[in-house]
Chains A and B, each alone.
Chain A
């Protein structure tokens, strides 16, 4: 059964509607700015952050947790696509567990000296909120056992899409709502990433710092992002007269099994995920028209991914356009795949590829057809989206043009 993305909503550093997000991809805008948050001290060693553009939340959201506000905003965005007559079989969510590192930050930010329980325990909140929203406003019940929370670091979002994709393709579910959220950052969490050597440092202009595949890249810029997708069978979407945003046609997953924070030097993990995605979709490498790379802008990670792409696509890699959204949005970790999937849907619809920002001097170790400068018009049917996670998880999702 063909599976489609029939509706979506987004909150991101470059736009808070799908239309705005898709438009900004091609304008050269970047969402990376200075880290300006009251809970961060002036001497904090990291200066960059890709914050969401300001967004409103429905009045009902009296709680201050950004996860709750963002979830309600996303649900409001997608609500018009959900009618009370249809069923939603499941809600699948990729969101970070707001743990104790974040906990300390929340308290500091608010200048409090006591923890506030409601803000801390957002564990299942996005799922519970979405279920309650569907019940209250659409009369649709989703049992607790069908509220699936996936936590696979930076592959979480696309693993969530893949989880639902498989079940809809098999006819087990007809329709699912997919939520991905990565919000907030605390000084403790940021320090933790900094000590791992993952973040870009310095005082250069923020818009120039996230530079995947560029020789001067020096780490990623932590970002925020959130998205919601309605996935359903193509037949179900067409029967409702809906023109889908894109089709999901295949995916592949693997684990490096090498080190917790470092990819395999032979790139076999990401190669296996890409290869499996092609097999799953029944496509040959030559049918892929563009790759949305994970490319966080770290010195090692970008080269390993490029090596994997070269190995899987062979000579064709020299002409296969590769782009990298994190140059525009920063790295929304658990939600990055959701933003990249939405961006890929926008590229398939517009039939052009957004350029990688700040790619002034491509790394000679990266022998790919990197898209830089201006948007690249191209006839495209299929885009591959790679997600790689701390811990060694790899996920490749294949998106097809809507028919």
Chain B
């Protein structure tokens, strides 16, 4: 029987915070407020119980929010005792944070001394923090999962596409279990702008959800249940969509 986990269950404090007009973007992006989980990246990383990895240095906030569900997911997988090669992870995540010092440096320096400036400022880890597939990869490492994985960045339909991907992999005999997640954060002003355009200011909400699904039948049910009209989707990122869909399991 499938299980559902969400950051909502953690009862994190939520605060309304200006998120879309940051630094150099403020000239073109209108200000908007979003519902942000009142934890720093470091604190969120600590929720994963993998604090020794200093996850906040490796992952963007979307990954940290997803990894905050690690204890529940780990316990769920332990109960199942499947081969790691027959568990897949599929989900919707948000591109990681802008490195504001880096962008500012780029703007200020033009092409003069650019290499020197950038090399001084940029960290190799910035690539991990920005990359949209790294939350899945890091979760797979943490959970010791080796099955198929996939990231579906659509803010509106990513969770749906993830469910359908898992469903097909159950059908072709690749899986005994699948983790399907959605993790949405508001740390990237460019992504926030896309969210604003799609959902309006009330759609900017940080949250993460994950379903642990055990069979093709469950996936089929979820896929059927999740086919709600786009107009009914009020929040970016799919965590809410998964929460609603979980009711059918």
Taking a contact as CB atoms closer than 8 A, the residue among A99, A196, A257 that contacts B130 in the complex is A99
B149 and A166 contacting across the interface, CB-CB below 8 Å? no
A150 and B168 contacting across the interface, CB-CB below 8 Å? no
A152 and B151 contacting across the interface, CB-CB below 8 Å? yes
A256 and B127 contacting across the interface, CB-CB below 8 Å? no
Q: Mark A86-105, 1 if CB is under 8 A from B, else 0.
A: 00000000000101110111
Taking a contact as CB atoms closer than 8 A, the residue among B84, B102, B114, B150 that contacts A152 in the complex is B150
CB neighbors of A among B131-155 (8 A): 131-134, 136-138, 140-141, 143-154
A195 and B111 contacting across the interface, CB-CB below 8 Å? no
A145 and B230 contacting across the interface, CB-CB below 8 Å? yes
Given A41-B112, A149-B154, A191-B118, does the pair A260, B134 have CB atoms closer than 8 Å? yes
B103 within 8 A of A: yes
Q: Please, which residues of chain B bring their CB within 8 A of the CB of A107? A: 106-107
B85 and A272 contacting across the interface, CB-CB below 8 Å? yes
Q: Please, which residues of chain A bring their CB within 8 A of the CB of B149? A: 152, 253, 255, 393
Question: How far is it, in angstroms, between the C-alpha of A263 and the C-alpha of B172 when the chains are bound?
Answer: 26
B112 and A391 contacting across the interface, CB-CB below 8 Å? no
Q: Please, which residues of chain B bring their CB within 8 A of the CB of A40? A: 111
B114 and A41 contacting across the interface, CB-CB below 8 Å? yes
Given A99-B95, A108-B110, A115-B24, does the pair A43, B116 have CB atoms closer than 8 Å? yes
Taking a contact as CB atoms closer than 8 A, the residue among B27, B144, B151 that contacts A151 in the complex is B151
Segment from B10-18, B69-77, B156-164 that makes contact with A: B156-164
Most chain B CB within a 10 A radius of its CB, from A40, A193, A257: A257
A366 within 8 A of B: no
Question: How far is it, in angstroms, between the C-alpha of A76 and the C-alpha of B165 when the chains are bound?
Answer: 29
Question: How far is it, in angstroms, between the C-alpha of A155 and the C-alpha of B151 when the chains are bound?
Answer: 11
Q: Please, which residues of chain A bring their CB within 8 A of the CB of B146? A: 254-257, 268-269, 272
Q: Please, which residues of chain B bring their CB within 8 A of the CB of A114? A: 27-28
Question: How far is it, in angstroms, between the C-alpha of A256 and the C-alpha of B145 when the chains are bound?
Answer: 8
A192 and B124 contacting across the interface, CB-CB below 8 Å? yes
B58 within 8 A of A: yes
What is the distance, in angstroms, from A36's C-beta to the closest C-beta of chain B? 13
A193 and B127 contacting across the interface, CB-CB below 8 Å? yes
A255 and B111 contacting across the interface, CB-CB below 8 Å? no
Question: How far is it, in angstroms, between the C-alpha of A163 and the C-alpha of B58 when the chains are bound?
Answer: 29
Q: Please, which residues of chain B bring their CB within 8 A of the CB of A260? A: 58, 128, 134, 137-138, 141
18 chain-A/chain-B pairs, Cβ below 8 angstroms: A41-B111, A41-B112, A101-B102, A107-B106, A108-B111, A108-B114, A144-B157, A145-B157, A147-B157, A151-B153, A187-B115, A187-B118, A191-B118, A191-B122, A192-B126, A254-B85, A255-B137, A269-B146
Instruction: Give B residues with C-beta under 8 Å from A.
Output: 24-25, 27-29, 58, 84-85, 89, 95-96, 98-99, 102-103, 106-107, 110-116, 118-119, 122-124, 126-128, 130-134, 136-138, 140-141, 143-154, 156-158, 160-161, 164-165, 168-169, 171-174, 188, 190-191, 193-194, 227, 230
Instruction: Give A residues with C-beta under 8 Å from B.
Output: 38-41, 43-45, 97, 99-101, 103-105, 107-108, 111, 113-115, 117, 120-121, 123-124, 144-145, 147-153, 159, 163, 166-167, 170, 187-188, 191-193, 195-196, 252-260, 268-269, 272, 276, 279-280, 389-393
Apart from A152-B151, A191-B118, 17 more pairs, CB < 8 Å: A99-B95, A105-B106, A111-B110, A113-B107, A120-B190, A121-B190, A121-B193, A149-B158, A151-B151, A166-B171, A255-B137, A257-B146, A260-B137, A260-B141, A389-B133, A392-B137, A393-B133
The 4 closest A-B pairs by CB, nearest first: A391-B137, A253-B148, A104-B106, A195-B124
